[in-house]
Structure formats: C-alpha cells, structure tokens
Amino acid sequence: MSDLYKILGVERDASQDEVKKAYRELAKKLHPDRNKDNPDVADRFKRVSAAYGILGDAKQRSRYDRGEIDENGSERPSPYGFGANRSRSGRYSSEGRFDPFDFEEASDVFSSFFRSAGARTSRRNAESGTKRPRENPFETSGRRKGLDINYKITVGFEESIIGGTRRISLNDGRTLDIKIPSGIKDGQVIRLSGQGGPGVGGAPKGDALVEVTVAPHPYYKRDGLDILLDLPISLDEAVLGGDIQVPTPKGRLTIRIPKNSSSGKRLRLKGKGVQRGEEVGNMYVTLKLMLPSERDTNLEKLVKDWGGKGGDALRRKAGLI
C-alpha cells in the first residue's frame, strides 16, 4: 500500500501550500515532456499526479487521513455493513461476530416468499375480476437483480484530460482495473455492469457505479471542453514580445507573445483543449504581467527616462475618470 505523503515527499502535518509546492516541483522535474525515453519516470509522474489529486484537495485529504478512502481515492468498505456505499451486507452471529450475509442461503427463502405473495395476488385478482398486470420475469420467478454498489475515486486534472487506467478495490475483496476515458468530467459516473451485489435466486448481479472526482490543479482550470491558464510574463516580454514555452496537460508548447501585450490579453491555442469523441476544445492562455518581486533601480530609471504619461489617458478611455 502506497503512502501518498511519501510519494510527494511531505510530512502528514504539511500545509496545503506545502503540498502544492512539493507537487509543482516534482511535476516540473518528472514531466513526460522532459523524460520521453524513461518509462519509470513517466510512471512516477502519474503516481505523483494521483497523489496530489487527493492531498491537494483539503476535503479529500481529510477523508484519506481518516481512512475513508484509499491511496487510489476508492471508498474503503464499511466494517459495519451499512452506509451510503452499501459496501457490505451482513449479520451478527450468536457469538457477537459479524458474518457476511449469505445471499445464496437467503435466495430460497426469498424465492418462496415471492412465489407465495404472487400466488395470493393472482387469487385476489381472479376473485375480483381485476386485470392481471404485466409480469416482471424476475419478480414472478422470485428472482431479484443484485444491488448497485457505489464507489468513489479521485483522479488528477491531467489524468482526466488524457485518460488512463485506475485500480479500485471492490467490496468483495477483489481489485479491478477500470478505464478512465479522456475528457471525463468531475462528478461523472462510470458504470461497471455485473460488478455489484449478487442477485437473488439466480438473478443477474447488480452494477458497480464509480463516481469520479477530478482534483483541482495548481494552474489549469476547465470550462466545458476548454482549458484555461493564467500565464505570468515579464515586462520585457510584454513590451518586446517573443516566443515562450507554455505547459499543457499533454506537454509543453512554444507560443509567440505579440509586442505590446497588455496584462489580461487572451491567446487561443486552437484544438489544444479537451477531446471527447469527435469534439475538441481550445486552450486559452491569459497573460498576466508580473513585475519583479524585488526593487529594480535600473527598471525605475528606465521608466523615468521613458517619460510615459499615458496612465490618465488610458483610464479616461476606459471611462474610469
């Protein structure tokens, strides 16, 4: 069993900012674009992204710390046989021990009950002249389809865009690899037919319903099929323009910043958004002008010598003064 804190290299009492910082440093170091010929590094990048998918979300992190979800983001079975996930059914033995409920043992009892109930209903209908309702083949034979069982997993933002494979632990102790389709949305449910609770009297099993939570990302956001990114640029890049590299969920791209680009200018990367079937979105990069964090006397002198006095004119044009 993997420890998500060890994967990110942080302590369990680390702050959310420390978790975010650790992830960004590892993601930059392990990104597949920098390690194209190293499958081991690519696998570690996936594990780091998955770990941040849980620890980067305060709510999911709390659930992981309490043992409610495992390192894959899958719900852990309830030890008491009840709860929102219906993960186990059972009974207490005479010794006070919790035993799994034997569906096969109960099937004969249920079948007899349904047959008797069906016979009584048929007699009453015949006596009253009521038209016999359409029969459900499962109900009339005493067979009941098994329960649908709910699970939850958390995936990283990049995994939700690219797709991948996740292993979940089922309530009966089995593990199952499920495919995460590219472009999956937060809250979307994957149905696994026949992986739920057992049916009664030989009826089909229920389904497993896996709800997918997409973890927030440090700098990407999603709007439908579009991906949004705020990109910091320096003063010289804003004035002079030039080619700079931009991260995307599928690797880094080189884009050209036009000269005299104002903060807030939006650039479109056509076809670089989310793909779902035949549809594909765009990626929108919003430029954010960032001045040096420390005082730069040379920059101050340059601005003074430039003598620009256009601030009032710009605000007047915008109707602010």
* Fold exhibited by the domain 1-53: Helix Hairpins (1.10.287)
218-258 pLDDT tens trace:
889 999 999 999 999 999 999 999 999 998 988 889 999 99
Q: Please say if the pLDDT value at position 197 is more than 50.
A: yes
Q: Which residue has the higher pLDDT, 94 or 56?
A: 56
Q: Which residue has the higher pLDDT, 22 or 117?
A: 22
pLDDT of the residue at 123: 56
In the chain, where are the structural domains located? 1-53, 72-216, 220-296
List the one residue out of 39, 55, 74 whose CA is nearest residue 3. Answer: 55
262-283 pLDDT tens trace:
999 999 999 999 998 889 999 9
Pairing of strands 275-276, 208-214: unpaired
Work out the pLDDT band at 312, boundaries 50, 70, 90. Answer: confident
* Fold exhibited by the domain 220-296: HSP40/DNAj peptide-binding domain (2.60.260)
Q: Which residue has the higher pLDDT, 79 or 229?
A: 229
Tokens coding 189: 């449910």
Report the distance separating Cα 154 and Cα 228, nearest Å.
21
Work out the pLDDT band at 129, boundaries 50, 70, 90. Answer: low
5-62 pLDDT tens trace:
999 999 999 999 999 888 888 888 887 667 667 777 777 888 888 888 888 888 889 9
Widest pairwise Cα distance in the chain: 105
Report the distance separating Cα 267 and Cα 227, nearest Å.
12
Work out the pLDDT band at 81, boundaries 50, 70, 90. Answer: very low
Q: Please say if the pLDDT value at position 102 is more than 60.
A: no
Work out the pLDDT band at 304, boundaries 50, 70, 90. Answer: confident
Query: Do 72-216 and 220-296 show the same overall fold?
Result: yes
pLDDT of the residue at 232: 93
State the residue for tokens 């009339």: 140
Sequence-ordered list of residues with C-beta below 8 angstroms from that of 11, at least 6 positions apart, any chain = 5
Highest mean pLDDT out of 65-69, 251-255, 285-289: 285-289
DSSP string, 190-211: EEETT-SSPPBTTPPP--EEEE
Superfamily of chain region 72-216: Urease metallochaperone UreE, N-terminal domain (2.60.260.20)
Q: Which residue has the higher pLDDT, 116 or 63?
A: 63
pTM score = 0.58
pLDDT of the residue at 294: 86
Round the average pLDDT of the chain to a whole number and report it: 78
136-156 pLDDT tens trace:
555 545 568 888 999 988 888
Work out the pLDDT band at 320, boundaries 50, 70, 90. Answer: confident
For the chain, how many residues are written?
321
- Rounded percentage of the chain residues whose pLDDT exceeds 90: 31
pLDDT of the residue at 318: 73
